[in-house]
Amino acid sequence: MFKAGLASCVLIIQAAFATLGTGNAIAGQVVLYSSNDVQTVSTVVEQFERQNPDVRVSVVRAGTGALMQRIKAEAANPLGDVFWSGGLSTMGAFADGFQPYHSPEEGAVAPRYRGPDGLWLGTNTHVSVLMANLRQVPDGAPPTRWAELADPRWKGKIAIPDPQFSSASYVALYGIRNLLGDDVYARIVRNAVIVGTTSAAYQGVANGEFAAAVTMEYAAYQYVAGGLKEIKVVYPAEGTFLSPEGMALIKGAKHPAEARRLYDFLASRSAQAMIFERAFRRPLRADIDVAALSGLPALAGIKVIDLDDNRMEADRAQFLVQWRQLVSSN
């Protein structure tokens, strides 16, 4: 994701940059940079424009890393207004590109998920899980612990997305190594089939190509909610890891008033509940009970192992060097 060229990875859903490039502000317009999937973005934009008929939203979609680099490159002439959403650790590394703002909605989000001086606001969190296909797992028994994946019986049966391209996979693997130590972590990686994208992992399990995958809660649960009875979502007994995501206003944005309206909408209880009900992205707002809206457990019922976001971001480059060495020696 971080290596992809901007020209190849950016998908412009609605483009208005010929006019924006002149530097002239356009009333009633807001430009959203988003790393979320097309369906989620389209749903949110449609609902926002319905409630705000005087504002038109233009969208640029790309990976978080590509969008961060774009915001940095456009600092002298920003073409975007709002960024939504990326990992908080990654956003922290690009904080210079954001505009402080205290939304009236921020009180529903715990302080640990808010940026300093209102530089960003947490919106949702991914939960690292194991996704298992009960028809493919050895002896019909899904793994219950991360450490089980080091057993030789899982050789070639586990899918792990490449953490060079998947931030969520990086969080999970970083957490597993910290939790279990280098030896067990290395055995898990050597047992795994490394896939290039997060979707290749969870789709592979759903299609029966793999018995299990390290993936995100929302991705696995969509198959359970869709009635695929052979799919099981496992919260490993040792504990699991969170990948909180957030949004920010872009510094120097040309449409600040409209940007704040979109930001407040994205932070609102109604919008985040709608996103969860349609895409199962777990909101960070404390006033949304996901257990009442789905078959997922409340966050308080999941054993979570805290990771230091700043340390994790600082360790990323060295971790990935070691990752490449480990995979190449496999």
Q: What does each of the 330 residues of the chain score in pLDDT, given as a tens digit?
A: 434 444 334 444 344 443 344 344 445 999 999 988 899 999 999 999 999 999 999 999 988 888 999 999 999 999 999 999 888 888 888 999 999 999 999 999 999 999 999 999 999 999 999 999 999 999 999 999 999 999 999 999 999 999 988 888 999 999 999 999 999 999 999 999 999 988 999 999 999 999 999 999 999 999 999 999 999 999 999 999 999 999 999 999 999 999 999 999 999 999 999 999 999 999 999 999 999 999 999 998 999 999 988 898 889 999 999 999 999 987
User: Is 171 found in the same domain as 222?
Assistant: yes
- The answer to whether residues 183 and 222 belong to one domain is yes
Is residue 322 in some structural domain? Answer: yes
Question: Same domain, yes or no, for 209 and 322?
Answer: yes
CATH code assigned at 81:
3.40.190.10
Confirm if 168 and 128 have CB atoms less than 8 A apart. yes
Q: Are 127 and 160 in contact (CB under 8 A)?
A: no
Tell me: do 78 and 197 sit in the same domain. Answer: no
In this structure, are 70 and 207 located in the same domain?
A: no
Residue positions forming the annotated binding site = 218
Q: Let me know whether 59 and 104 are in one domain.
A: yes
Does residue 103 share a domain with residue 61? yes
In a domain, 201, yes or no: yes
Note whether residue 45 is domain-resident.
yes
**Given the structure tokens 């430009």, which residue do they identify?**
31
User: What confidence score (pLDDT) does residue 14 get?
Assistant: 42
Is the previous residue joined to 169 through a cis bond, with omega within 30 degrees of 0? no
pLDDT at 3: 41
Q: Is residue 75 domain-shared with residue 178, that is, in the same domain?
A: no
| Residue 247 lies inside a defined structural domain of this protein | yes
Residue 121 CA neighbour count, 13 Å, CB half: 27
Q: 68 and 39, same structural domain?
A: yes
Residues in contact with 299: Cβ distance below 8 Å, sequence separation at least 6, in sequence order: 125, 127, 282, 290
Q: Phi and psi of 93, rounded to 5°?
A: -75, -15
| Cα angle 124, 145, 217; round to 5 | 20
21 inside domain: no
The DSSP 8-state label assigned to residue 48 in this structure reads H
Q: Is the separation of the CB atoms in 113 and 122 below 8 Å?
A: yes
Are residue 143 and residue 173 in the same domain, yes or no?
yes
Binding site membership for Fe cation: which residues?
Answer: 218
Cα–Cα distance measured from residue 258 to residue 234, given in angstroms and rounded to the nearest whole number:
41
Residue 165 belongs to a domain = yes
Supply the pLDDT for residue 16.
41
Q: Quote the pTM value.
A: 0.84
Q: Which of 282, 171, 274 is nearest to 219 (CA)?
A: 282
Burial class (CB in 10 A: 0-12, 13-18, 19+), 273: middle
Number of domains making up the chain:
2
Domain shared by 252 and 195, yes or no: no
Relative orientation angle of helices 198-206 and 217-225, to the nearest 10 degrees: 30
Instruction: Give domain status of residue 22, yes or no.
Output: no
What one-letter code names the amino acid at 83?
Answer: F
What pLDDT is recorded for position 5?
41
Orientation angle between helical segments 269-279 and 38-51, nearest 10 degrees: 150
Give a yes or no: residue 99 inside a domain.
Answer: yes
Write out the residue range of the structural domain in which residue 171 sits. 126-241+304-329
89 shares a domain with 56: yes
Distance CA 275, CA 188 (A): 33
Rounded distance between C-alpha atoms, residue 231 and residue 181, angstroms:
29
